[in-house]
Amino acid sequence: MDANRNIPWPRIAVEGAAIIASILLAFSIDAWWGNKQQDNAEQVVLETLLEDLREKQDLLNEMNRYSQAIVDSIEALLRVGVGSQEKPSNEMIDQLIGDTWWESTEALWVSAPMNLLVAGGNLSLITNPRLVQELGSLQVAINRVRNLYQKDQQFHQEIMTPFIMSHTDIIQINAAMRHRPGFPGEPGFPSVNVGVIKNFDHGKLLSTLEFQNLLAAKRERQLDILATGHPGVEKHLSVVISMLENELDN
């Protein structure tokens, strides 16, 4: 009994409470630090993603102009071919044919930040569930436009290029290509100078059914991009960019 009387219970209770408080404080600090790290990681992700998607928005405007210029050149050639439009100069015909011989490159739509988040399974870094949902919708739209670009690329490589190589004077057409379709202000296209004046008349090609069908098929692929692919990306891009800006402002 005397031994029990000598146990300093008040001091033990105080020390025990201090230990428990220090443990709880350590857990709180650890949780606070974890949340801070999470917030910092999320901010970096959002800023990187916003910068990339703004670039994609600029790319979208550029590719709308590019694809529309190809469609315009195709339609001009078809009108000449069926006789509803007066035949332009041979050089202009060569330039228009050159415009149709450009392809869509689906690699333009690869987004490293989007792939890291969506395909990489890192969407948990983003705490806004609606933003996560919209990012998923944007990824679907981008995959759709990439698929349309792939179809155009495949058509270009497997059908368009073999035909052009077999039925036209490539050097002459190359010399007439002044710029990328839709961007006349760009530097001139690097043509091949062989020191010979080429006088192949491609106007005769325009009236052939085979070439008209080729142009019609190329036009269809570009219209799919303009009417289906790009509008879908544009819609979701606008929403996601606005949401990212709001998240970062807050």
195-242 pLDDT, tens digit each: 656 688 999 999 999 999 999 999 999 999 999 999 999 999 999 999
What is the Cα–Cα distance from 100 to 94, expressed in whole angstroms? 10
The neighbour count for residue 17, using CB atoms within 10 Å, is 10
What percent of the chain clears pLDDT 70, i.e. is strictly above it? Answer: 76
Nearest to 76 by CA among 65, 63, 87: 87
Instruction: List, in sequence order, every beta strand (DSSP E) within 56-157.
Output: none
Q: Which of 13-17, 32-36, 83-87, 150-154 has the highest mean pLDDT?
A: 150-154
Nearest to 160 by CA among 113, 98, 207: 98
pLDDT, mean of residues 106-129:
79
DSSP 8-state symbol, 182 = T
**Over the Cα atoms of the chain, what is R_g?**
31
pTM across the whole model? 0.80
Q: How far is CA 106 from CA 109, 139, 183, 186, 228, in A?
A: 6, 14, 20, 22, 15
Alpha helix segments (H runs only) across 82-186:
90-100, 112-114, 129-155, 161-167, 170-176
The pLDDT of residue 178: 81
